[in-house]
Amino acid sequence: MHIREKIKAAGLKATPQRRAIYEIMQDACHCSIDEIIARIKEEQPDVTVSTVYRILDSFCETGLLTKFVNAEGKTIFDITPHEHHHIQTADNEFIDIDDKQLSTLIKRRIINKLPEGEEIDNIQIQVTTKVKPT
């Protein structure tokens, strides 16, 4: 599906700014707001920071993007909309781990520890790595 159709299928108007931000996300896969702003300013210098925030919020609300907090506490936007896990490398890159068995294992191990009347909403494991000492 092309960018325009994906945005429309989410119930949003495919404005030039929305298309540009979605294209940046398709290219980068995982991106902080600072990186997104820096990249869109190269193409569209007039776009405001608040517009970028609004677009990213609408993308997350409609399921086009997800977001998570990295090891440094920074919000990272993610092009993969379904539940998955991450390895955050020493270079600050993210590797997607799409492993339903891992999620199922975690669910089984913690199901009895949940507060009464609550259920698991989302499981996201984040493994950080560092360069091995030589």
| Contact footprint for Zn ion (CB under 5 A) | 78, 80, 96
| Comparison of 12 and 28: residue with beta carbon closer to Zn ion | 28
Provide the minimum distance between the beta carbon of 131 and Zn ion in the complex, in angstroms, as a whole number. 22
For 104, the token pair is 């199922």
Provide the minimum distance between the beta carbon of 36 and Zn ion in the complex, in angstroms, as a whole number. 15
DSSP H or E segment with residue 31: strand 30-32
Long-range contacts of the stretch 36-42 (C-beta < 8 A, 24+): 36/77
C-alpha span between 125 and 104 (Å, rounded): 12
Strand partners, 118: none
| Comparison of 29 and 47: residue with beta carbon closer to Zn ion | 29
| Comparison of 48 and 75: residue with beta carbon closer to Zn ion | 75
Provide the minimum distance between the beta carbon of 115 and Zn ion in the complex, in angstroms, as a whole number. 28
